[in-house]
Structures are given as structure tokens and as C-alpha cells.
Amino acid sequence: MRGRTTWSRGRVLAVLAALTAWLIAFHPAVPDLPGRPGSLVEAFLPWLGLLVPVFVAGGLVRRSATALLAALLPVTAWAGHFGGLLLPAPDAPHDLTVVQHNVSDENADPAGTARALAASRPDLIALQEVTPRALPAYRAALSARYPHHEVRGTVGLWSAYPLTDVRALDIRPRGVDPGWRRALRATASTGHGDVAVYVAHLPSVRLNARGFDAARRDESAGLLGSLLAAEPLDRVVLLGDLNGTVDDRGLTPLTSRLGTAGTGFAFSWPASAPLARIDHVLARRAEVLRIWTLPPTGSDHLPVAARLAY
């Protein structure tokens, strides 16, 4: 470092810090190249903030004012994009409490899982990966408090309110077997008016040698988005394992039509070390006031609960 000033050192660190800030603030500008690097970045976007201590430590080691000042760029970008999620939820009256949970088709204790979900006393419980073998256990554990329930394929909805106009939704990507049924729609007649409730489980994404494979997930999201656009009821709630975060461009057909909570990260997957919220509560003509996770069950996902106001 002899002969170099504190402003001329650490330029590489400064460039990396600026690039990180750009990714956080302008991630939609990352081109959708083969391998889907844009969606991959967006899946773990909040975690780019962990690079800030690295830039600061590097700037201190290099005694670089340039690197230290540049570290403020990702701090500012992260705070602008995610800072609001750290704020406390508004203390406001709510009209509906819901729980969304992928219960896992390998869940060894479906009855215990159902009891744990009901303990939070939500009005609606949406489940994915409900197997025929486990279904009787869910029905038995939930029927007392949730007398209204509907199951289509591997997704189900348990409700404290009457359900009408229930139907399965076809969101199958091309080439998928007709027996693949992972979405339903119902009208819940709440004490505050009718709500169109959608329950969905989009296809999984895969990280392989060719990159981030989300083609089927994206196609299914597009089909579901078209159904939401055609929904005649004003008030809509979508509960689902969408296999993507709200920043993921693959979910734009949904997130462009529905809003989510402005506070709370509620990372739901994997349950052992949550890295991302891929289980969602999205709404139209209703505000998601708060979203949070419930304690682990026998699933590899954490349950997600939310309060909504009309």
C-alpha cells in the first residue's frame, strides 16, 4: 500500500459494494439469461445485506476511505427496499386472520400439525401437500372449529365461515399429467362480506448445472394470474406455497395484481433454517396488516399467519 492514499486504495471493494447496491435497487434490470440469474438473485435478495460487513471489514483492513464510503451504498439500497419490513406492524383492527401451510406429504404427524395450526385460532387455514392418507387426520382435528372445508387434489381450505362456489383450478404447466391438481377457489361468506379465497401450490424450482430452473413455476403463475384477473369478486385473498419470493419476477403475474404485508420477513423455508418466504398471503381490496411464522410442525415449511383488514 506504500505510495497510495486512503482514497486510491480499495477500489475493487468499492466497485463490488456499488454492484451490490445496484442489484438490490435495480434487480429487475438483471437480464433473464439462460439459467435465470435474475430470479436466482431475487430469491435471496435480502441476504445481499450480509455483504455490507464484509465491505466494511475490507475497507478497514485496506485503510480505504473509498471502500468505507462505498459500503454506504448497499446499506442505503437495502434500507430503502427492505427497511420497512423491520418496522412494527400497525396496531389496527383486523377483519380476518388466516394461516397458510405446506404440511409436507411426508409429515409423520398430520393430526399434531392440524392442532398446532388451529391453536392460533385463524378464520381460514389453507394447506398444501394434503395426501389421501393424511386427509382423515386433518378433517378429524379441524372439523370442530372449522366445519366448512373443501379439498381439491392436494390442496385444501378449512374455514370458520360458510364456503360456496368451490371449484378446482387448472394451473397445470404444459405436459403435466391431468391428475395434477394443486389449486382451488372458494367464496367465504365472512361477517364483513364475501371474499374469494384462492389456495395454490405452484411447481417447485430447481437449481442445477444449467442454472435456476423455474419455467414450470412461472407458467403456472401466469395461468393463476389470468384466473385472478378474471375474478368477479372485488375482495380476493391468495394463500399458497408459491415457490418464490415476492421479489421474484416469475411471480409478477400474481404480485402485480395482489398486495402483501408491508412489515415482517416471515421466512418460511426451509423450516430448519429459514432463508426465504415462499409461503404467501396476498390480497386485493384488503390490506395484509401483519405476517409472521408459527412454530415448526412436522413439515419442512414453517406455517405463515397473517391478519387482514378490508
Segment 270-307, tens digit of pLDDT: 999 999 999 999 999 999 999 999 999 999 999 999 99
Q: Which of 86, 116, 139 is the last residue of a domain?
A: 86
Task: Give CA–CA dist 74/48, Å, rounded.
Answer: 8
Local structure of residue 214 (DSSP, 8 states):
-
166 and 297 both lie in a single domain: yes
Contacts of 163 (CB under 8 A, 6+ apart): 148, 149, 150, 157, 186, 187, 188, 189, 197
- DSSP calls for 189-251: EEBTEEEEEEEEEPPP-EEETTEEE-HHHHHHHHHHHHHHHT--SS-EEEEEE-SS-TT-GGG
182 and 59 both lie in a single domain: no
The cell numbers describing 119, all together, are 391453536
Instruction: Give the range of the structural domain holding residue 70, as residue numbers without chain letter.
Output: 11-86
Number of domains in the chain: 2
Which band of pLDDT confidence, cut at 50, 70 and 90, is reported for residue 158? very high
Confirm if 225 and 253 have CB atoms less than 8 A apart: yes
253 and 295 both lie in a single domain: yes
Q: Which residues are bridge partners to 193 per DSSP?
A: 190, 191
| Residue 149 within a domain | yes
Would you say the pTM of this structure is higher than 0.85? yes
- Residue 2 scores a pLDDT above 70: no
175 and 29 both lie in a single domain: no
Instruction: CATH number of the domain at 293, please.
Output: 3.60.10.10
| Residue 218 within a domain | yes
184 and 298 both lie in a single domain: yes
247 and 101 both lie in a single domain: yes
Decide: residue 108, CB within 10 A, 0-12 exposed, 13-18 middle, 19+ buried.
Answer: exposed
